[in-house]
Chain A
């Protein structure tokens, strides 16, 4: 074996070891969660309300709560993020404003999520008097998701070939028409990728909703966005730290974890399918 072949051999096998380690952690992770919580997930677990302070019954209200928080927060952050990105990409003036916005976004992206929770508590719950509610939680989560949303949208818009923009303008389109008819539709699949990532992030966050939306135990379902709700990730946290019946609560916590994982996978799968169908139609 020559020196170069040896280097090649060592290099490739090192990479193999690294990927194996990564894979082992992922498999272990799934095994632990599913082995401890998998058998909890039955039809009644998914569709019934909890009983006796979360020691029996199902987690349906928490599924509903997570669903609404995710949908509403994405509904808020998606347009905000896309419009911000459009401004930064298409108009981008004055330069100092764009630069400050970018610094703000990147700072926002690095802020620990519990601080979002405190911010939401101060501004939405107390200052704007929205109380602990789906709305307050969604707004807090929307701000959390915003940096990812803006960065993904900006990248998506920048990756649209500039040929398309020139072609559109040369046909007598205004900047606005070009954005709406060419830029946005072309960038949409990649914007969706950003949305998928955000959904996973938002659905799984605990800290931002701790003080803004979540309640540990309620038997009834939310009737409006001003209600407080049970939420999957917070429920896991609460089951593991509160209450006096650990032997009954811990399995429910793992069961909830399985449901949360599946829910995120399910939503992502839908978005991936939509994106796949969009991408199939275009190539350049």
Chain B
């Protein structure tokens, strides 16, 4: 039945969405009344010029903005229709369900194995289970063949592209519903970038993906939906194909055609 729905190209259900989300850093309002649905098992791209608030929005979905003391949030972020900003919610559980990969590859100064096992060990999983998940996660991130003989060597011995795939595998090991990618290829060379893009397309069967990117072409290549943000506002949200061919908003059109960036 799921296939039938997909074939008809109808809108899938929103896995996570925001409802009138506003965010301030001190007195400065960074997000203005943002409403965006992130659809299940799809890739959604967030694009927009520097400082438009796309990374900030991304970090609302796993409450990483909590780390910034002067951040103030109003509105809702609904994960499977549950507001993750309601009081007495377990933030660590939210972050287990909503994984994240950062702009710069940031593996821990630990072995390859222990990087992937990190999240599982936090929750005290059994060794045999961890071994199994480490292997599948690395396979899913297309890293297994490259590292299977040196699981105990430092994660820093990997190349930048491999490190970023390690970070994806590390996030996937938590078996998240959604993974957030914050410009995951901006520090990588073209080959590594292509590999990560392909990987995203492969992973979207398993997980919902939200990716922030500076690279308009990248959004066009991999995303099903695109959201264009400008000065903290959600200017346009649509299917990528439609937005890239017939943008409804003039600012979207200007941005996509490279008038400003």
Binding site for B on A (CB under 8 A): 161, 163-164, 166-174, 177, 181-182, 185-186, 281-284
Contact = CB atoms under 8 A, between A and B. Distances in A.
A168 B118 contact: yes
28 contacts: A161-B106, A163-B102, A163-B104, A164-B109, A166-B67, A166-B106, A167-B106, A167-B167, A167-B170, A169-B95, A170-B64, A170-B102, A171-B96, A171-B119, A171-B170, A172-B95, A172-B119, A172-B122, A172-B123, A172-B174, A173-B119, A173-B122, A181-B118, A182-B108, A186-B109, A283-B109, A283-B154, A283-B156
Contact of B156 (A166, A170, A284): A284
Given A171-B119, A171-B122, A173-B122, 11 more contacts: A163-B106, A167-B106, A170-B99, A171-B95, A172-B93, A172-B119, A181-B121, A181-B122, A281-B154, A282-B109, A284-B156
Nearest to A174: B92
Contacts of B100: 170
Given A166-B64, A282-B154, A171 B106 contact: no
Contacts of B106: 161, 163-164, 166-167
B109 A170 contact: no
B109 A171 contact: no
Interface string B182-200: 0000000000000000000
Contacts of A168: 108, 118
Interface string B75-110: 000000000000000001101100110101011110
Interface in B10-58: none
A167 B100 CA distance: 8
Nearest to A171: B119
A167 to B, nearest CB: 5
A142 to B, nearest CB: 30
State the main secondary structure of chain A at its contact with B. Answer: helix
B209 interface: no
A166 B119 CA distance: 13
Interface of B: 62, 64, 67, 92-93, 95-96, 99-100, 102, 104, 106-109, 118-119, 121-123, 154, 156, 167, 170-171, 174
B102 A167 contact: yes
Nearest to B157: A283
Contacts of A284: 109, 156
Contacts of A177: 122
A168 B122 CA distance: 10
Given A163-B106, A164-B108, A169 B122 contact: no
B155 to A, nearest CB: 10
A158 to B, nearest CB: 15
A177 B95 CA distance: 14
A278 to B, nearest CB: 10
A167 B64 contact: no
Contacts of A186: 109
B108 A167 contact: yes
Q: Which 10 A-B pairs have the closest CB atoms?
A: A172-B96, A163-B106, A282-B109, A170-B100, A171-B119, A172-B95, A172-B92, A167-B106, A173-B122, A283-B156
Contacts of A181: 118, 121-122
A174 B99 CA distance: 15
A167 B62 CA distance: 12
Contacts of B107: 167
Nearest to A283: B156
Contacts of A170: 62, 64, 95, 99-100, 102, 171
Contacts of A169: 64, 67, 95
Most B-side CB within 10 Å, residue of A169, A172, A186, A282: A172
A89 to B, nearest CB: 14
A161 B92 CA distance: 21
A182 B102 CA distance: 17
A246 B156 CA distance: 61
Contacts of B64: 166, 169-170
A171 B104 contact: no
Nearest to B111: A281
B118 A171 contact: yes
A164 B154 CA distance: 15
Contacts of A167: 102, 106-108, 167, 170
B109 A166 contact: no
B127 to A, nearest CB: 17
Contacts of B121: 181
A185 B122 CA distance: 16
Contacts of B156: 282-284
B66 to A, nearest CB: 9
B171 A171 contact: yes
Contacts of B154: 281-283
B159 to A, nearest CB: 14
A161 B118 CA distance: 18
A174 B119 CA distance: 11
Contacts of A164: 106, 108-109
